[in-house]
Structures are given as C-alpha cells and as structure tokens.
Structure 1
C-alpha cells in the first residue's frame, strides 16, 4: 500500500516538475478538477488513469516507480490530508498512536477500536504515506524525524482548540506536572535568544521520545510540552494605556 502511495507522490512531484496542474489532468481524464484532487490525495487511482497521465507527461510508468523508490521520508501531510484526520477522531487517534510507535495490538487493546476498524484506519494512513502497513498488521512509520503538522493547518487548529478548553484545566501541582509563567521586558535580541533556547528544548524532548520508542507501553505515559512566547500584554492593561501600544517587531 505504501508503494502505491509513493507512486502517487512521485506522480504529483512529476506534474509539478512539468508545470502541469490539476486542471490539465482533469482535461486528460475528462473528470472535474475536484475529482482529480480527491484521486491524488485519497485514491483510488486506477492503473488505466495512471497510464493516461503518464502518456500525457510523456513518461514511462517505470519512471514513476524509480522516483518513488528514491523518495524521502514524509516531512508533512497535505492540508487536505490533515483535514481528513481532523474530521475523523478515530483516524486521528490511530495516527497519533502510530506516529508514536504504538503496535497494532497496543492500539486495539487500549482503545475501543475493533481490529477490523483499526486495520481500515491504518490502511488510510498507509495511503497517505505516513506509515506502511506490513503483513501481520505490523506498522512501519515513514515520516521524517523532523515531521511536523502544518503551521496554521487543521491539526494544529484542532489541538489548539482543545488545549484552550482542556489542557489548562489543571493546577499543575501533581506528579509529572509543571507550569512556568514568566513576564518581563525583553529586547528583540533577548526575545530571539529565548526562542532559540525553546527550540533547543523542543529538540531535546523529541530526542528523548526517539530514544525511548522501544520501551514497553506500560513504562511510558503520554506527555505534552507546551512552549509559547510572543509580544503580549494583558488586554485589561492594554485598555488602560493612554497611547496605543507600538509594535516592537
């Protein structure tokens, strides 16, 4: 399944290299542009249609296969794919588990998802190119070590909404909990320095996550780290200013 997804990604990259658009493909296949988008992002793309697109691009099918074999690990999903995840909670749950190196058995034994449903959801992630579903329902993660959800995309929007309503409903005094809130006046240079330190801490978090990926699930627990920094003043204070606050950046 991942091989088919790789060929589709190679096809999209080839279209871009040739300066061709979805509108061009829609004319070749005699279907709507919206249908082309669905085929190239969700499938299924039949062999007949794939051959017609190859003829249009004047390339051989073997060229796509070779290109797919040379593809790099996935760095991010498309916005359409992220929206599909955001609109389907079970799919998003399985995606998060898979990307965190959970096994098939760990997913179905932990969550109220049947084996059949889990296989179907993993197959959809396979078509997206995020994983490869191997024989025996083994999961091979295909994303790059620096994989990120799209900035301002559907997944970050989804989690931000839940962070606002759930994450902060806590006093952060329990085991494994800590919240720091600092407020002060910083220069642009000091602000930039703090942001570099925050990014470094995020990298260390990811490194620890990778180092412990093979530990049994019983020895780990879901952990979330939220770091945020921006020019900001409490709105109550801003409303009391004599002059509008001036942007510093």
Structure 2
C-alpha cells in the first residue's frame, strides 16, 4: 500500500513538473480522461499501463517508487569512492551485501569475516557515507532505492574485467537458470519501449529482493541477472558488410 501511495504521489508531482494535464496524458496513452482520473485516485495500474506511463513521461519506474525521504540518500557513488571499494575486495563485498539488505549475523556466518573485522569495515563505509553501524549488530545502508553504480566507472570496469567473463562462462543449466541471446532490427521507438521494459524488469527484481530480505538466509539463493541493450553488431558480421552499409549499420 505504501508503495502504491508513493507511486501515485510521485506521478502527480511529475505531471505537475512537466505541465502535463490528465487530458494530455490520456491522449498520449490512447485512453479516456476519466480512466486516468480513476487510475490516479485508486492507484490501480496494470503493468502494461504503468509501463506506458513511464515511457510517455520518460521516467524510470524506480524513480516513481522512491520515497521523498530517500532524497537525502546516495543514488550514486563518486569515482573516488568506487576506486576505494575496488582496491579492497572485502570492503566491496560488504558494500554489496549491505546494499542488498544482508544482516550482520548473516554476513559473519556466511563469509570469512569476524565480528570485529566487519565492524571495522562498516566504520570505513560510514566515513564514506555508504553505510552506518549501530550497536550491538545493526547495519543501515545509506543508498537509495534507485541506487546504481557509475557507468564506465571503476566498479563497472571491475565488473567487465572480472565478473562478466566468469558469469558468462557458466553452463546456465541449474534450476531457475535462463540464458537468451537475441538480436534483430528495431526502430527508435521500439528501442525506447524495449529499454523501458528492461528498466521495469530491473525494478521488479529490486522489489522482489527487498521483500525476500525478510526471509531466513537459508531460503534465499544468490542470483545475478545482466540486462543490457546496445545498438551493436558483432565485428565479424560487420566485416562482411558492403562498405556503404558498414558505415551506416546503426
């Protein structure tokens, strides 16, 4: 219920900021104005309707779900902060765990990190403004719901060099595993719609992970999904193109 009220409140604020009336929004969505008024009064949106609203307003779903109190929280680290994390694997690990709602006892029981060492690591993160330690064993993250790593930053570089190769060299044959490689020719409008779908799927993953954080650790498994979209063509294919087409392949 809280997320529904937050979404409606932020959506109305977005409409006011963009000077978009209910009638204009209804026109863009291809529905009636009474339908929009009803949806906004009840906070009852289908996923398809919500996806289209985000698309026409050019806003990410996670932004609409962000509580105003989170405006003081971190949405992205500085380049220097990320470099400090990359330089210390345990600090990076603890940051990842805290951002993903791991509790103090869960961390020390799962990883080779003692109580004293974990406290020391979290105090380092506290100086960086990333997390806080509260006695006796409480951890509080300072990252917002829509927190993300810097594009092309140190963490991104670490991910590309170390994490992605190991991830893609796996067999993807376990229960729940899935691997799809898709490619095709899309218009700019279709690309925008597909990108919006990726953003919605990523937001859904974050909500599920946040909700499942209430479950015992034994009932949860580490999961990783890579969602990416580029106007790109495999170089071996590009070399087979005729010269005139190769120059305008995108």
Alignment TM-score, normalising by the size of structure 1: 0.68
Q: Following superposition, which runs of at least 4 residues in structure 1 exceed 6 angstroms of deviation?
A: none
Task: Judge which range, 85-94 or 211-220, deviates more.
Answer: 211-220
How far, CA to CA, are the matches of 1:228 and 1:85 in structure 2? 24
Shift of 1:242: 2.0
Change beyond 3 A, Cα 1:109–1:205? same
Partner-residue secondary structure (3-state), 1:120 = helix
> What are the equivalent positions in structure 2 for 1:1-249 lying under 5 Å apart?
72-243=72-243, 245-247=246-248
How far, CA to CA, are the matches of 1:248 and 1:237 in structure 2? 11
Partner-residue secondary structure (3-state), 1:218 = helix
Shift of 1:227: 1.1
Alignment TM-score, normalising by the size of structure 2: 0.68
Which runs of 5 or more structure 2 residues have no equivalent in the other structure? 1-69
Report if aligned partners of 2:81, 2:128 keep a CA contact under 8 Å in 1: yes
Change beyond 3 A, Cα 1:114–1:247? farther
How far, CA to CA, are the matches of 2:71 and 2:242 in structure 1? 57
Which one has a bigger Cα radius of gyration? 1
How far, CA to CA, are the matches of 1:191 and 1:200 in structure 2? 14
Which runs of 5 or more structure 1 residues have no equivalent in the other structure? 1-69
How far, CA to CA, are the matches of 1:77 and 1:105 in structure 2? 26
Partner-residue secondary structure (3-state), 1:208 = helix
C-alpha distance after superposition, 1:170-204 (max 9, x if no partner): 22122121011112111121112111111111111
RMSD: 2.0
Change beyond 3 A, Cα 1:248–1:235? closer
